[in-house]
Amino acid sequence: MDKGALVVIDMLNDFILPGSPLEVPDARRAVPAVRREIERARAAGRPVIYLCDSHDPDDAEFGRFGWPPHAVAGTRGAEVVEPLRPEARDTIIAKRTYSGFHQTELDAALRGLGISRLRLAGCVSHICVLFTAADAVLRGYEVTVVRDAVAGLDPVEHAAALRIMQRALGAQIEGGIPALPRMGIAS
- What per-residue confidence (pLDDT) applies to 60? 86
**What CATH code is assigned to 3-174?**
3.40.50.850
Please check whether residue 10 is in contact with residue 50, taking contact to mean a CB–CB distance below 8 angstroms: no
- What per-residue confidence (pLDDT) applies to 61? 85
Distances (CA, A) of 118 to 20, 52, 156: 29, 16, 25
- What per-residue confidence (pLDDT) applies to 183? 54
Q: Over the stretch 119-146, which tens digit does the pLDDT of each residue have?
A: 999 999 999 999 999 999 999 999 999 9
Q: Outline where DSSP puts E strands in the chain.
A: 3-9, 48-53, 91-95, 115-123, 142-151, 172-174
- For the chain, the structural domain boundaries read 3-174
In this prediction, the residues of the chain whose per-residue pLDDT falls under 70 are: 1-2, 179-187
Is the pTM higher than 0.85?
yes
DSSP 81: P
- What per-residue confidence (pLDDT) applies to 95? 97
- What per-residue confidence (pLDDT) applies to 1? 45
